[in-house]
Amino acid sequence: METALLLAGKITELTLIVLMGIALVKFKLLKTENSYPLSVIALYLISPSVMIHAFQADYSPEILDGLWLSLKLAVLFHILLIILGKLFSHLLKLDALEHAATIYTNSGNLIIPLVMSIFGPQWVIYTSGFIIVQMLLFWTHLRLLICGSGKVSWTSLLRNINILSMLCGVILFSLQIKLPKIVDGALATVGSMIGPVAMLVAGMLIASLPLKQIMLSKRIYLIAFLRLLIPMILMFAVKLSGLAGQDAHSRTVVLISFLATISPAAATITQMAVVYKQNAAKASAIYGVTTLLCILTMPLIIVLYQWIV
C-alpha cells in the first residue's frame, strides 16, 4: 500500500506538470510544435545521461543478478504483450495504431522518474532491461506494425542514441570504469530533468487534441481499458512464475519491471504515425487519454499487484 501511495503522489506531481504544458499552449505562450526541441533534448541528451549515470554503480553479484532478472522479465513481458495484443486485435478488429497501443508503453519517459522518486536513483539501472528490449522492438515489430511493410532498419537501431548509451553504460559497469565526479555529476543533474521535460512535452501535445472528438470516441476508451486489462493478465503470469517470491531485492526488480507494463501508451507510436503518415491525431489522442488516466489506474493496479503477488 505504501508503494501505491508514493506512486499516486508522484504521478499526481507529473500530471500537474502535464497541465502546465497544456496551459503554455492554451494561453498562447507556446505552440504545440514548440515541443519538438524539448523532445530532442529529452531523447538525445536527458535519457542517455540517465542511463550512463545509472550504470556508474559499484559491481556486486546482487546487481548483476538483478540486471539478468530485469532482462528476462522484459523478454517474458513483451512476448505476452505481443500475444495478447494480437489476440485482442483479432477479437476487437483493432487497427494498427490501436493494436500498437495495447502492446507498447511509455516506459522510459514515465518509469525512470517514478523509479528515481519512489525507490531511489540506484534502482534506475533495473529499468534498462525493459527499455533495451522495448527499443529493439520499436524499430522492428512496431515499425512494421505501423508502416505495414518494409525492411527492418538495423542501421537506425544500432545508431539509436539510447541503445548506444545503454551499451556504453554496460561496458563502463562491466569494466568498473568510473567517470570523473564532475562528469558523472553533470549527467545526474541533466538526468533529473527527465520527468518534468517528458510531462511538459506530453501536455503541449495534449493541448492540441480535439477534446470533443476524444470524449465521443468509444474506440479510444476501449484502448484505455485494454491498457488497464492487459497488465492484470501479466500480474497473474508474475504470480504463477514465482519470480516475485524471492528475496526483497528481486521482488523490487520484478515490481520495477511490472511498472513499465502499466504506463500509458508509448509516445513513440505518435511519432511513428507522423513519420509513416498514419492517423497521428488518433495516436496523440490515445497517448493523451491514457496519460491522464494513469493517475488513477497505475496506483490501483499496484494495490492489486501487492495484494495478489
Strand-pairing partners, residue 265, are 105
- What integer pLDDT is reported at residue 149 of this predicted model? 61
Grid cell 507556446 in the structure block, residue: 30
pLDDT score, position 300 = 87
The mean pLDDT value for 274-290 works out to 80
Alpha helices by DSSP H, 216-279: 218-241, 248-261, 267-275
Helix (H, G, I), strand (E, B) or coil at 105: strand
- Distance, in Å, from the CA atom of 20 to the CA atom of 18, rounded to the nearest integer, reads 5
The percentage of the chain sitting over the pLDDT mark of 90, rounded to a whole number, equals 30
**Alpha helix segments (H runs only) across 42-106:** 47-54, 61-92, 96-103
pLDDT of residue 296: 83
Domain that holds residue 289: 2-308
Which residues does residue 150 pair with via DSSP β-bridges, in sequence order? none
Q: Are 269 and 286 in contact (CB under 8 A)?
A: yes
Neighbours of 25 (CB within 10 A): 20
CATH number of the structural domain spanning residue 203: 1.20.1530.20
The three cell numbers locating residue 281: 491525431
Q: What is the pLDDT of residue 156?
A: 67
pLDDT of 31 > 70? The answer is: yes
Q: What span, in angstroms and rounded, lies between the C-alpha atoms of 84 and 126?
A: 25
Which pLDDT band, with edges at 50, 70 and 90, does 112 fall under? Answer: confident
pLDDT at 84 over 90: yes
Q: Is the pTM of this model over 0.85?
A: no
3-state helix, strand, coil in the chain (%, to 5): 85, 0, 15
Average pLDDT over residues 189-204: 84
Residues 6+ away with beta carbon under 8 Å from 6: 117, 118
Domain total for the chain?
Answer: 1
